[in-house]
Amino acid sequence: MSDNLPIRKIIHIDMDAFYASVEQRDNPELKGKPVAVGGSRSRGVVAAASYEARKFGVRSAMPSVTAFRRCPNIIFVKPRFEVYKEVSQVIRNIFFEYTDLVEPLSLDEAYLDVTNNKIGLPSATLIAEEIRKKIFDTTSLTCSAGISINKFLAKTASDINKPDGLKLIKPDEAVNFIETLKVKDFFGVGKVTAEKMKRMGIHTGLDLKNKSLGFLSKNFGKSGAYYYNICRGIDDREVNPNRIRKSVSIENTYDTDLSDFQEVLTELQILSEALEKRLSNNHIQGKTVNIKIKYADFEQVTRSRTSQIWLSKSQDYKPFWEEIMNDKGLTEKPIRLLGLGLSNLNTEEKDNQGFQLTLEF
């Protein structure tokens, strides 16, 4: 740990199997059963899986045919993103009762800096318990919380006692916790990287700590400095309520492959209008139009075009995706998924301030 870094009280809240839990809450017939949100027995991708389904190895982003193979009794449910957004906003409003320093990572998780909180409570643990109880009382949904001195430790802690759990990593426990933590459980270390580290004899945080910055940079590129710091408990990232948004997109996986060119254009127009609504709701404009195509054989391609002016209306960015699709080679194979989005956005990042040096957890 570095003595020069500010000590903060950071809470990471992660809803438990959020989409699937909302579906089980709203449909009592689904309670206690393996549920997959998204996809079907033969098509699509799982967006979320209930804990009953996870026992069979079903995970988000898994092809639904694989999920069905692993769990033949699984129940596929169509996602209701508008409902999830409404519930997420209710939860976010609860966060704001305690602090304005809330950084959402997605609809179902967020960081909170409660170092200086609105209710003047000195214990971040008590605040996390209050929030968890209030979320359950308000939504009938459970969440897990991690509490510590920085984002990395709080995020890692929230996974330890899932579901419906809480984990505190105190400042004087941080070093030992990190040194004994398996690298595969480090936030920011994916499966491929964990396997690479394993081949190098790096199994725990202590093993990682024994490697030099030069070694890690040579073998892991830009991520080397991140690994060098986090195994020492160094993470000075602030909770940023104005976290920059880099893209807005929408996509659809089709029950039947798209083989006709006009049919593809029709579906893109539908996506285009849905994207316009999302942009309007968030007061966002962009300059780069992005197309994502996944074929029936799961090959994936992306294409983009950039405008000199801001785009936010379907009629404004339609010429750009039409130009992309004029490449007939893009529709030579049956298409299972289409995605349309804007990047190079008009969002701006703002600075946050405020911390104290001594505190009680």
Active site residues: 109
Contact 248, 347 (CB under 8 A): no
Contact 141, 21 (CB under 8 A): yes
Residue 109 φ then ψ, to 5°: -155, 155
Residue bearing tokens 């074929």: 295
Q: Kindly tell me the sign of the dihedral angle through the C-alpha atoms of 252, 258, 261, 262.
A: negative
The whole-angstrom separation of Cα 341 and Cα 255 is 21
Contact 10, 148 (CB under 8 A): yes
The whole-angstrom separation of Cα 124 and Cα 126 is 5
With vertex at residue 204, the alpha carbon angle to CA 201 and CA 209, rounded to the nearest 5 degrees, is 85
CA distances from 38 to 27, 121, 144 (A): 16, 41, 23
With vertex at residue 119, the alpha carbon angle to CA 244 and CA 361, rounded to the nearest 5 degrees, is 80
Contacts of 159 (CB under 8 A, 6+ apart): 14, 144, 146, 185
What are the residues facing 111 on neighbouring strands? 12, 103
What value does the CA radius of gyration of the chain take, rounded to a whole number of Å? Answer: 22
Q: CB 98: neighbour CB atoms within 10 A?
A: 22
The whole-angstrom separation of Cα 156 and Cα 151 is 8
The full length of the chain comes to 361
The whole-angstrom separation of Cα 360 and Cα 124 is 8
What element of type H or E holds 248? strand 247-258
Burial class (CB in 10 A: 0-12, 13-18, 19+), 305: middle
